[in-house]
Amino acid sequence: MIPFFLAILGLLLLVLLLLAFDKWCRVGGPLLALTGVLVAEVWRRRLLPVSGVILIVGQVFLPVILGVSPADEDGLRTLLDYGQGWIALVLLLVTMMMSCASLSDERESGRLGFMSLRPGMELRWLPGKWAGVIGAVLVMLIPATTVLYLQVSLESPEAGNRRAKLPITALQFEVTEEDIDSFLLFKLEESPLEWGLQSPEESRRRAKRYLERQARSISKGGKSYLDFDLPPTQEKSVQLSLRPAMGKAHRSRVARLGVKVGDYSQEILVTNGKRVTVDIPLKESGSNQVQVELEFAGAVAEEVNIPAIYWIDDDSVQLKVTRGSFFGSLARSQALLLIRCAFISALSLCVSTFLGFPVAILFGICFLIAASGGGFAGAFEDEGASVMVDPRQETTARYLIDRLAAAGSQIVSGLKAWANSNTSEIVSAGEFVSWTRLGRGLFIIGGLWSGLALVAGTLVIRRTEHATGDNR
Amino acid sequence: MSESVIEVSGLWKVFRDFWMRPRVEAIRGIDLKIQKGEVFGLLGPNGSGKSTTIQVLLGLLFPTRGEVKVLGGNPGSSESKKRIGYLPEDSVFYPFLTGREMLNLCARLSQVPEDCRKSRVEELLRMVGLTAAADREIGDYSKGMQRRIGVAQALIHDPELIILDEPTNGLDPIGVRQVKDWIRGLQKRGKTILITSHLLADVEEVCDRVSILYGGKVQDEGEVEDILEHQNQSQWITTTPKEDQVSVIRECFRDQGVEVISLNGSRRSLEEKFLETVKMARSDGEVTAGAEEGGQLPSFLGGEAKGC
């Protein structure tokens, strides 16, 4: 009964929002007139209603298809993960379709030329259509997100009311330039022959690696002290989240780990690669700094030898503080999805000014595939910066190749911003999506990237001939 | 000396392929001058460069060589766009918009003041006989109805210069008659009109001057009357003479040294018969899904009652 009710509610919301948006477009100036045309196009050519029905009905029946219930923690996480993934998949594809189909059709039918005869149209084409696509995406996004939220909160009211957690990474995981400087100073005094003969860049790179390794591992019987800067909080406890890696040991192997925070101490069992959380009471000390002492006591089974445990990713050791509501995080995460759709639309519109529909779609899909790997971009960044250049090899060809590589590196690091704006996993894990992250996404992806794509597309339109008849 | 609305000198347009190699020389050195208030016809067979010339005048195609001035400015400038109305040869309107929505869109894009917009749309719909079909999507319109909506959108912002590319193409004889009447009416209201067509009878009836293109060049140009004057021949229309009178008349002409080349009995044209039949059907109240009888030019089009 609930899925049926949710489907009706979602579709009703979709139609109401569309009517409201359409009405708003009808009262505006020339820019909104173009926006209204795009809305009419995607609605009357059935792209928006069909996609909307697929999106909402798919969303409603997702728990049935996945065989999960949001009443239990694992089911809730799975539903949130797949639910947001489903919404993102449909919306990103529909965005590309709407943007590419609309402008390619205008170009190929000669309508682009004909409509360009109205004053100021060259400047309004892309922004008008872009606003239309964003509006259409918003019209679909709001009901789909509402349905997802209702699915979670109707089945499990406490899940809907739960608080999101803000993960905080250990200060030691961020190796700063100052850390490297003081480490090198110490090492140059301690063993000048080992550290003094290397080039400064090589020494710094080595020092950074060493410090990172030191912060991110505990050898058997050893201790590690990790400091965390907590934001001001009224909560009486924080959650310590751990996911250790134990080298090539089998996933089922278990180790003992001592946790000590102030007066509180506990020994816990941790499994290779598996996340474990511990609630730690907070004492009112007036300080926002918390130090966690971790002691690795070795494997549980005597015959197993685990020499050390490692914290490979930044989220391997985190303190989580309650911060904001689950709904707020979900809403910000979906706003970031809207921003990504806005960029995909701007990019698709830009390439559609000179490419036909199928090629433009292919281009957009290539971007999405490349961007989904953007999270790995960090691996290249530091390496690229410290490569020594032999002055004797500074030929023109080498210079050009270096510049190309630098440009490529910029693009890859730019795509990392795209990966950072994908926060669906964070929401699924019950974590907090910050306003800062939303703001950064809005500025970089929604403003900078989309703006560049729209300007480039507008320049192409202004520079291209757009005849309306056989001369095309 | 009246003001020139369009001035073209030494215009060349060469279409190039992807590698920028010349593909087609569509226009080869055209010179053209169109005065304010004139109805000018650009004639020529298919591929003679008529539409290309128009697209250059509109700023949609860039000239390869030569100078083009439209309404005193560069073609494609924002200022000239506000003052030009254009009916394209093909129907390039949004098929998913209704006729009324399309006109409303064009009015908004042309920045027609909001208080005038609605009345102009309704007046133009009435003029082109599409009031009853105004809420149907353009994709469902017949070709003739699409031409009519095209004429309406070209006039929505009360332009000074109206460019009509094959305006009678796809229209029924009633539509053709109406378009010709509108053109004459617009000229009386001070508009300058440029028409391209290969339907010479239509052009002959409405144009003051014509230019005949072939192979991208102007082959002949001048006043319609001058161009069509048959050298050393004239046509008289009289009441039908009786058999015996014919021979007397021939004799008479021969005596005066005038040769009678042909003598034909006069008959009604098919167009006249068609118009009469449709008029009768309309007066009998026959219903049609297509365009209805159009009306007069709206008052906002530069006439005496200028306003919305």
Residue B32 has a pLDDT of 93
Residue B298 pLDDT exceeds 80: yes
**Touching check for B51 and chain A: CB below 8 Å?**
yes
> What's the burial of B295, exposed, middle or buried (CB within 10 Å: 0-12/13-18/19+)?
middle
Lowest model confidence (mean pLDDT) among A112-116, A151-155, B247-251, B291-295 = B291-295
Contact status of B82 with chain A (Cβ, < 8 Å): yes
Q: What pLDDT does A176 receive?
A: 86
List chain B domain ranges. Answer: 4-227+268-283
Residues A3 and A9: their CA atoms lie apart, in Å, by: 10
Do the Cβ atoms of A465 and B82 come within 8 Å? no
Size of interface A-B (CB pairs under 8 A): 82
For the segment B22-53, what is each residue's pLDDT rounded down to a tens digit?
888 989 999 999 999 999 999 888 888 888 99
Both tokens of A325, joined, read 């509501």
Domains and CATH numbers, chain A: 2-165+325-463 (no CATH), 168-324 (2.60.120)
Q: Which pLDDT tens digit goes with each residue over B177-232?
A: 889 999 999 999 999 999 998 778 888 889 999 998 888 899 888 888 887 776 67
Say whether B60 and A34 touch across the interface (CB within 8 A): no
**pLDDT tens string for chain A (472 positions)?**
677 888 889 899 999 999 999 888 888 888 999 999 999 999 999 999 999 999 999 999 998 888 888 778 888 888 999 999 999 999 999 999 999 999 998 888 889 989 999 988 888 999 999 999 999 999 999 999 999 999 888 877 776 677 888 888 888 888 888 888 998 888 888 888 888 788 888 888 888 888 888 888 898 889 988 888 888 766 778 889 898 988 765 666 889 999 998 888 999 999 888 888 888 887 776 677 888 999 999 888 878 888 888 888 878 888 888 888 888 999 999 999 999 999 999 999 999 998 888 888 888 888 888 777 654 444 444 444 444 455 555 677 777 877 877 777 777 777 888 888 889 888 888 888 989 999 999 999 999 999 999 999 999 998 888 776 554 4
Of all residues in chain B, the one with the smallest CA distance to A124 is: B109
B29: its two tokens: 């050195």
pLDDT at A335: 96
pLDDT on residue A72 = 82
* C-alpha span between A12 and B299 (Å, rounded): 45
Q: Confirm if B133 and B125 have CB atoms less than 8 A apart.
A: no
Contact partners, residue A439, CB within 8 Å, separation at least 6: none
Q: What's the pLDDT score for residue A287?
A: 73
pLDDT at B304: 54
Q: State the Cα torsion B247-B252-B257-B261 to the nearest 10°.
A: -40
Percent of chain B with pLDDT over 70: 94
ipTM of the complex: 0.82
| Contact between chains at A44 and B108 (C-beta distance less than 8 A) | no
Chain A nearest-CA distance from B172, in A, is 22
Contact A358, A191 (CB under 8 A): no
Does B140 lie at the interface with A, CB-CB under 8 angstroms? no
- Strand segments, DSSP code E, in A221-364 are 223-229, 237-242, 254-261, 264-271, 276-281, 289-299, 308-310, 317-325
Of B55, B81, B94, the CB nearest to A467: B55
Of residues A248 and B244, more confidence is placed in B244
**B78–A contact, CB cutoff 8 A:** yes
Which among A44, A465, A468 has the least Cβ separation from residue B96? A44
Scanning B162-181 for CB atoms below 8 A from A yields 165
Determine contact, residues A256/A297, Cβ cutoff 8 Å. Answer: yes
User: Taking the alpha carbons of A217, A223, A225, A226 in that order, is the dihedral positive or negative?
Assistant: positive
What gap in Å lies between CA B184 and CA A136, rounded to an integer? 46
How far are the Cα atoms of A213, A242, A289, A315, A348 from residue A295, in angstroms, in the given order? Answer: 16, 13, 20, 19, 53
For the sheet with A264-271, list strands across it.
A223-229, A289-299, A254-261, A264-271
Is A44 within 8 Å of B109 when comparing Cβ atoms? no
Burial class (CB in 10 A: 0-12, 13-18, 19+), A446: buried
Residues 91-110 of B with CB under 8 A from A: 92-94, 96-97, 101, 105-106, 108-110
Identify the CATH class of B4-227+268-283.
Answer: alpha beta
Residue A289 C-alpha from the chain's centroid:
28
| Structural tokens at position B10 | 């030494």
Which of B26, B110, B137 lies at the smallest CB-CB distance from A118? B110
Digit-coded pLDDT (tens) for B106-158: 999 998 998 899 999 999 999 999 999 999 999 999 999 999 999 999 999 99
User: CA angle, A184 as apex, A180 and A190 as ends, to 5°?
Assistant: 150
Residue A391 pLDDT: 53
Token pair, residue A100, equals 């590419």
For A118, the closest of B55, B79, B109 (CB atoms) is B109
What Å distances lie between residue B298 and A246, A405, B119, B192, CA to CA?
A: 85, 65, 10, 17
Nearest to A3 by CA among A50, A51, A49, A70: A70
> How close, in Å, is residue B206 to chain A by CA atoms?
24
